[in-house]
Amino acid sequence: MSVWRVILSVLFPPLAVYDKGCGSILIVLILTLLGWIPGVIAALIIINNPKS
């Protein structure tokens, strides 16, 4: 996990998970629209997941 990816996930979470697939982007986008903090947490979890 790079520092730039973490900064991007704090500023605009859906953009930080763009290479993880459309489903991840939609989940993070919906959570960001519901509240900024859930979107950031979801983005950090998806970025930290080593499987994809």
Q: For residue 49, what pLDDT band results from cuts at 50, 70 and 90?
A: confident
CA 29, CA 2: separation in Å to the nearest integer?
21
| C-beta separation of 16 from 9 below 8 A | yes
Res 38: pLDDT: 95
Res 1: pLDDT: 67
| C-beta separation of 8 from 15 below 8 A | yes
Q: For residue 15, what pLDDT band results from cuts at 50, 70 and 90?
A: very high
Res 34: pLDDT: 95
Neighbours of 8 (CB within 10 A): 18
- Does the global pTM surpass 0.85? yes
Rounded to an integer, the average pLDDT of 15-36 is: 92
CA 22, CA 15: separation in Å to the nearest integer?
11
